[in-house]
Amino acid sequence: MSLPQFKLLRPRATDEAVSFLAKHAGNVRILAGGTDLIPSMRQKLFEPESVLDLRGITELRGIRPLASGAVEIGALTTLSAIERSAYLRQHFPVLTEGAATVASPVLRNMGTIGGNICLDTRCLWYNQSLTWRKGCGFCIKKDGNLCHVAPGGSKCWAAFSGDTPPALLCLNAEVEIAGPNGARRIALREFYTGDGENYRKLEANELVTRVFLPEASADYRGIYRKLRVRGSIDYPLAGVAVVVKRLNGHVADARLAITAVNPAPLLVQRAGEMLIGKIIDEALADAVGDLAARTAKPLTTSALTPEYRREMIRVFTKRAVLAAARP
Amino acid sequence: MVAARSSPLEAGIVKKELIELKINGRAHELAVEPSALLLDVLRQDLSLTGSKRGCDESSCGACTVLVDGVAMMSCTLLAASCQEQDITTVEGVSEHGSLAAIQKAYGDWGGAQCGFCTPGFMMTVKSLLAENPNPSEAEVRSALSGNLCRCTGYSQMYEAIKSAIEAERQGLAAAK
Amino acid sequence: MNNNFSIIGKPTAMIDAAEKTTGAGKYTDDLSVPGMLAGKILHSPYPHARIKRIDTSRAEKLEGVVAVVVGKDAPNPYGILPVGHDEHALAFDKVRYVGDNVACVVAVSEAIAEKAMELVDVEYEVLPAYFDPEESMKAQSDLIHDNKPGNLEKDYHHAFGDPDKGFAEAVHVAEARFIANEVTHAAMEPHSTLASFELDPHTGKLGRLTVWSSTQVPYYLQHKLSLVLEMPMSQIRVIKPLVGGGFGGKSEVIPLEIIAAVAARKAQAPVKITYTREEVFWAHRGRPRTIIDLKTGIKSDGRITSVKARVVQDGGAYCSYGVVTILYSGALLGALYDIPNIQYDGYRVLTNKPACGAMRGHGTVNVRFAFESQLDELAAKAGIDSAEIRQRNLLMPPCITVNGLRVQSYGLPECIEKTVERSGWKRRKGKLPKGRGLGIACSHYVSGAANSIIRSDMPHSTVNIKIDRDGGVVVYTGASEIGQGSDTMTAQVAAEMLGCSLSRVRVIAADTDLTPIDIGSYSSRVTFMAGNATLRAAEDVKKRIAAAAAKKMNCPAEELVFRDDLVFKKGSVPPVVKKDQAEEVEVTQAGASVSGRVEGQILRGSLQQKRKDEGPKEWMTFEEAVVAAIDFHGALTGTGSYAPPQEARGGKHKGAGVGPSPAYSYSAQVAEVSLDEETGEVTVHKVWAAHDCGRALNPVSVEGQIIGSVWMGMGQALTEEMVWKDGMLMNPGMLEYRSPSSVESPEIEPIIVESIDPEGPFGAKECSEGSLAATIPAIANAIYDAVGVRLHESPFTPERVLAALRAKNNSKRLNLTEGVDPTAPARFREHGGSLCFKGKGPERHALDPARREAPAAARGAD
C-alpha cells in the first residue's frame, strides 16, 4: 500500500509551522513521529493535499524543568526521551510509566508526546485498508454514515487509545496550542470532546506545541496499568492511571484516569473524592474500581470483548490504587 | 478513435523533488516524490534491499534502520524528512569487509532461520549494544520486542547476543 | 550409537547465514529485471457474489497503466490437489470471499496500479453467504460451488476395530466438544512473484517463462502454471530465491503466482506482484477453525479402549489442501499411542472465507489439542498421573497401527522420560503455589507423506551431484530452503558421505531448469526424502571415486575410507593431524611441508604432480582421488533418488493414502504456567520439549526447529486467532493478529532424542512440525493443574480463561457475547449493512458501493 500523494512542508520553527497551517488549513495533516499518521495514510484514512512535517522544529523537543518545580515538555519530545528522563521518573513517575508502555521500543523512538496526546481514536471498523472498508460499506468516522459498533446510533464510538494522556490528566497537565492568534494554554481535560469522530478541540489551523506539568502535581506516587494481549506493540485495550499523595498514611490528594474504553481519556472525577482523607484498603480500592468500571463504556472497537475490558478497568483500578498506596 | 489518456497531473502525480540522503556514510542525491517512504527509496532507488517490508502498519520491525544512531522504522519515515541525518542500514553493519560479531553470532547460534526479520534485528541489537554494552536478558527481551520473528521463538537470538558480546569483549582485550 | 561422524551431529551455522545477517541475500521482492512493471490485485468487497460485468476501460486509460487482467484471460481452473481444481487465477463468474481476486492492474508503478484499481468497474449481484460450517452444511441453494451439495467439500467416515465394543469395555469415558479457532502462518515475508517471458528467437513472440517466487513447492508451481497458461512444463522455469518463512503458507500455488504470469503475458513485460500484509491474510491457507466432538474411553489401568471423533473443519471458499487436512486429522489419531478402536467422522466444509490449507502440523494440531486434553481429564478421573497414563498407552514397535500406519523408530518413551525428568515433574507436579501449574502432552508428525499428492510412482526426491577437478562438490536438489535449513542439511549429508569438508560443498537448489524434480518443502519431508536422495547421490559418485582411488592405491574399493578430505585404507592411520575441526592442517610428507586452509587448495601444483608420479600409496587427498576418478571416468557426477517403500504406504480403505509416512517423529512436552485469577491472563514460564528426530544432523537447527514449533504452538494457544465478523476478517495485520513478541515468549528447553530410524538418512527424521501440536494441550493441561479449569476453546485468551474461572467458581458470570455485534446476522443478508445506508451526500466516499457512479455515463463522456 503506497501513500497518497501530497506536498511536504518542512518548517524549521513553530511560527513557520503555524503560518503553513494557516495557509493550507483544512487540507493538511500534521506529521510528528508518524507512527499513527503514516499507517493511516497508507490505509487512505487521510488523503491530505499537504503534510506538515514537524521533525525539523528543534525548539519543540526536550524536557525543561522550570525553577518553580513545574515542567515544560516540547510536543516533539519522543516517548523514549520521556521514558528515560530521570527527572520525570523521580517527580512524575506516572508519566514515565505510561510512556514506557506505548507500542514498542522502536516506535517509542519515533512517537512523540504531542502525537500521543493528539492520537486519532481507533476502531476495528476504521483502522483498515481502503479495500477492507469498502467491503464493510465504510463507517460513520470515515466516508460512511453507519456505526458498525453501535448500529442505529449517530455517534462514533472509536476509542481513544493513547497511554500517556491518562497519566497527564492525573497530573493536571496543560497543553499549549499555537494558532494564527498566538499561543493559548488549556487544561488537557478540556482538550477532548468525548466524540469518536471529532475527538479533540483543535482548530484546523492550530497545533499542540507544549505540555506543562504543574508544580503542584510533582512528587505524587503514580501507577499506570495497561491491558494488552502481548507484552509489547499493542495499543491499550484498557488503561488506568492513578496518582496519590499521602500525608500521615491518609490520602491527601488523588486522581484517577482511564483510557482506551471511551472515545476520550477520562478523569474519573469522583475517584479522587472517594480516596481523599481515607486510608487505602482493599474495600476502598474495590469501590474505586467499581466506580471506574461504571465510567468505562467500551464497545467492540478493539480485540477482547467490551464486558471483559470493563471488568479489567475494575481490576486494574483496584490494583493501581493499592499499588499507589504501598509505601 | 484513440482514447485520450489522462495526463500525469490528472492522475494526481506530484512532482519529484531533489533530496540528499546520507546512507552508510555516503551521500546520495535523489529525485523522490514527497510521499516516498525511506524504505521504498532504500529498496527501489538505491537497491539497498536488506531492509525488508513485512507489514503495512508499522508493527513488525523488519525495516528497522538507524537514524542518527537511533533505531527507527524506515517504513514509517518519509525519505525527504530524513535529510541531514545519518542513516545506517543493515548493509552498513559489516565491519572492514567482514561480518560484525553480532552477524557471525546470529549465524552460529541459529538466531536467523528464514532471515527475513534478521536485518531489522541486526539494527535493533546494534543500537541496544551501543547504548548498553552488557544488557541483562530482560533488557534484551524488552529491546527486541518491537521486532517480530515467526521462526525462532527468539530464544537462540539471546544466545547469539550473549556470544557476540563475549566476542567483542575478547576482541577488545586482544587489541589492548 | 555411532558417533563417529565428522560433519553431521555437530552444531553448524547455516550455509546461507551470512547472506541473511548482512542483508545481501535476495528474496523475491528484492529482485528486479529491466522493464519490470508492478501488478496490483483488485479484491472482492463481498463474501459471495456473482460478477455481472467488469469494465476495465477507465482503468486502462490512466497514464502509466499497461494492462488490466481479468478472469477470462486465464479460464483454466487449477488447485493444488487433483481432486480440487476449483480456483481460477482471477474470479471467473463468482467471488467467494472478501478478498477474492477479481482483476489485476499492471502499471509502471505500484502507486499508479493502486490508483487504476479503483477505476475498474465491477457490477456484482450479491448472493447469500455462509460463514459458519454447521450452517453452511444445511445450505439448499446458492451453493459456494455448484458441484458441492450442502457446501461439503468432502466427508470421511472411518471405523477401525470395534469402537462401540471398545466403549463398552471402558471404565471411564469422557466426552466433550473442543473448538480450535483459525490461525494463519504469518510468515514474515509477504508472498511475492516476478514473472518474465523471453522472446522466442524464431517467432519473436513470447517464448519461455521464468518465474521467481516465494514458494515451498517450485515444481507444483511449474505444473499449475503449465495447466493455466497452456504451456509445456519445459517452457516454464521456476526459481525459488530466499524464502522468508513458509510454515505451509507457501506450500501450494498462491493466487498471485498465477496472476503474475498471466499478467506478464498480457502486458508483454516482466511483472512483479508482492502482497500487502492484508493480502497475505486473504491468501491465507492457514489452519481451519475446527470443531471436534471427542469421546474417549479408558480402562481403570488407564489403557485406552476406544476413541470416537467427529471433526468439522471450516475450510473457506476453496478446496486447497482441505481433503488432505480432514484425512490427516483422522489418520494421525492413530500413530502416537496404541489405540485398538477408532471411529472417525470428518467433514470439510466450504464457507465464504479465505481458503484454509496446510499449516505447520497440518491436520493433527487441533485434534491433538482435544485428544491430549481429554486424556488428561481421564487420567484425573482414573487417579493416574498424567505422564504415567501416556506411558501406559505406548505402541510396541515395529508395528502397524489399527488404521494401517507402519511405525518403526519410536522415541516417545524416552521423550516422556526426559521431559518428566528435566521439568522435575515428579517432585513438582501438584505442589506448586496456587495459580501455578504443570501440564504434559505428546504429539507426533510424519516425516513426509508416503503417498504424494500427484499420484505417480515417481520418486519424491532426486538429487544430482557434480564434483569438479579441484574437489569442489556441487549438489543439485529441487528441495526448497525456506529457512528451515534444507540447503545446509543437503550439504552436510553430501559432505559426510563423501568425507570432505563442508566448505567444499555448494548447493544449487529449487530451480526447475537446473535441479532434478523434488516435490517440495512440506509435510516435513525434506530431511528424510531429499536427505536420502542426497545420500544416495553421494554414494553413487563416491563409488566412482573409490574405484579410481583403489586402482591407484592398489587395494579393493570396499577397503577405502573417505574422511576429513582424505581417502585412506581401512585400519590405516591417516597422516594428517587435525588441529581444530576442519580449520588448519599440516601435512608433512617426504620433506615437503604445506600448511594452509583445508579448502581443497593444499597439495596443488608440483606436490600434486610429484605424488601422481609416485607408485601406489597408503592414502590420497580427496582432491587427488577426484582427479584420479575424473581422469578415469570423465566428468564426475552421481545421482540418487528416494521413493517411500511400499510397506510404508498404508492401508486400503478410502482415504488411506493420507497419514502413512516412512517414519514418524515424536514429542513430549511439559509446560509450566501461571494464571492471574482476577484477569485470566496466562503466563507460560517455561516449556520442556523433548523431540525424537531420529538423529540430529545439525543440533543447532534441530533445537531451533523445536523451539520454533513450540513457540508457534504457544501463539495458537494464547494469542493468535483470526477474528471474523460477517465474512470480514477483523485483524488482517501484524498489529491485530497477535504473533507473540519477545517479551511474553517463554523460555523453551529443547531436548533432542535420537531413536535412529532404520530408513532415515543417518537415522534422521523430521524435527520442524511434530512439536507444535503438543504445546497447546500441554498449556491447557497446565492451566487445569494451576486452577482446575479445563479450557475447550483455543486460544486461551484472558477473557475465555476468566469466563471459565467464573463459571467454575459460580461467581459473577462474564458474558462474552454481550455487546458483541447484537445485530450480526447468523447468515449473511446484505453485506456491510448497505441496506442501512441513507447516504451522506457529497461527503460520502467515492468508492462507497452504494454510491457507484453509472459507468455508462462515464463512458459517454469520453
Domain-embedded: residue A261: yes
Domain-embedded: residue C25: no
What CATH number is associated with residue B152? 1.10.150.120
Residue with cell 461527503: C843
What CATH number is associated with residue A35? 3.30.43.10
Q: CB contact, 8 Å: A56 with chain C?
A: no
DSSP C202: T
Final residue before a domain boundary, out of C642, C672, C696 = C642
Residues C501 and C416 in one domain: no
What's the structural domain count of chain A?
A: 2
Q: Do residues C305 and C167 touch, judged by C-beta distance below 8 A?
A: yes
Name which of C723, C732, C741 is nearest A230 (Cβ-Cβ): C741
Final residue before a domain boundary, out of A17, A39, A54 = A54
Domain-embedded: residue C14: no
State which residues form the domain around B61.
17-92
What's the structural domain count of chain C?
A: 3
Domain-embedded: residue B6: no
Q: CB contact, 8 Å: B113 with chain C?
A: yes
User: Tens place of pLDDT for every residue, chain B, 176 residues?
Assistant: 344 444 444 445 578 999 999 999 999 999 999 999 999 999 999 999 999 999 999 999 999 999 999 999 999 999 999 999 999 999 999 877 789 999 999 999 999 999 999 999 999 999 999 999 999 999 999 999 999 999 999 999 999 999 999 999 998 888 77
Final residue before a domain boundary, out of A38, A54, A70 = A54
Domain-embedded: residue A140: no
Share of residues in chain A with pLDDT > 90 (%): 92
Give residue A153's pLDDT.
Answer: 79
Among C355, C352, C356, smallest CA distance to C828 is for C352
Residues B163 and B107 in one domain: yes
C844 neighbourhood in chain A, CB within 8 Å = 138, 143-145
Please write the tens of the pLDDT for every residue from A168-191.
999 999 999 999 999 999 999 999
Domain-embedded: residue B10: no
State which residues form the domain around A262.
61-118+159-325
- For helices C699-718 and C772-787, the axis angle rounded to 10 degrees is 50
Q: CB contact, 8 Å: C503 with chain B?
A: no
Contact C188 B11 (CB under 8 A): no
Residue type at position C633: H
Residues A73 and A44 in one domain: no
Residues B53 and B106 in one domain: no
Residues C127-149: b if buried by 16+ CB within 10 A, e if exposed: bebbbbbeebbebeeebbbeebe
State which residues form the domain around C793.
135-184+285-452+649-809
Give residue C510's pLDDT.
Answer: 98
C820 neighbourhood in chain A, CB within 8 Å = 300, 305-306
Query: What does DSSP say about strands B26-32 and B17-23: parallel, antiparallel, or unpaired?
Result: antiparallel
Domain-embedded: residue B4: no
Domain-embedded: residue A86: yes
Residues C346 and C493 in one domain: no
Residues B120 and B162 in one domain: yes
Final residue before a domain boundary, out of A54, A73, A98 = A54
Contact A135 C728 (CB under 8 A): yes
Give C239's strand partners: C212, C511
Final residue before a domain boundary, out of B57, B92, B127 = B92
Averaged over successive runs of 10 residues, the pLDDT of chain C (862 residues) comes to: 82 97 97 98 96 97 97 97 96 96 97 95 95 94 96 98 98 98 98 97 95 98 98 97 98 98 98 98 98 98 98 98 98 94 98 98 98 98 98 97 97 98 97 97 98 88 97 97 98 98 98 97 97 98 96 94 94 61 39 39 51 71 96 94 96 95 98 97 98 98 98 98 93 97 97 98 98 98 97 96 92 62 35 33 44 38 36
Domain-embedded: residue B120: yes
Residues C141 and C196 in one domain: no
Handedness of CA C638, C643, C644, C645 (dihedral sign): negative
Contact C741 B145 (CB under 8 A): yes
Give residue B12's pLDDT.
Answer: 54
Residues B84 and B141 in one domain: no
Residues B35 and B85 in one domain: yes
Domain-embedded: residue C842: no
Residue type at position C554: N
Residues C506 and C574 in one domain: yes
Name which of B50, B90, B148 is nearest C188 (Cβ-Cβ): B148
Residue C225 half-sphere exposure toward CB, CA atoms < 13 A = 35
Residues B61 and B39 in one domain: yes
Q: CB contact, 8 Å: A46 with chain C?
A: no
Residue type at position C724: W
What's the structural domain count of chain B?
A: 2
Contact B13 A1 (CB under 8 A): no
Contact B59 C707 (CB under 8 A): no
DSSP B42: I
Domain-embedded: residue A149: no
Distance from CA of A261 to the nearest CA of C (A): 13
Residues A30 and A165 in one domain: no
Give residue C846's pLDDT.
Answer: 52
Give A216-220's long-range contacts (Cβ < 8 A, gap of 24+).
A216/A172, A217/A92, A217/A170, A217/A171, A217/A172, A217/A173, A217/A243, A218/A69, A218/A70, A218/A71, A218/A91, A218/A92, A219/A91, A219/A245, A220/A92, A220/A94, A220/A170, A220/A171, A220/A244, A220/A245, A220/A253
Q: Do residues C415 and C442 touch, judged by C-beta distance below 8 A?
A: yes
Domain-embedded: residue A153: no
Domain-embedded: residue B56: yes
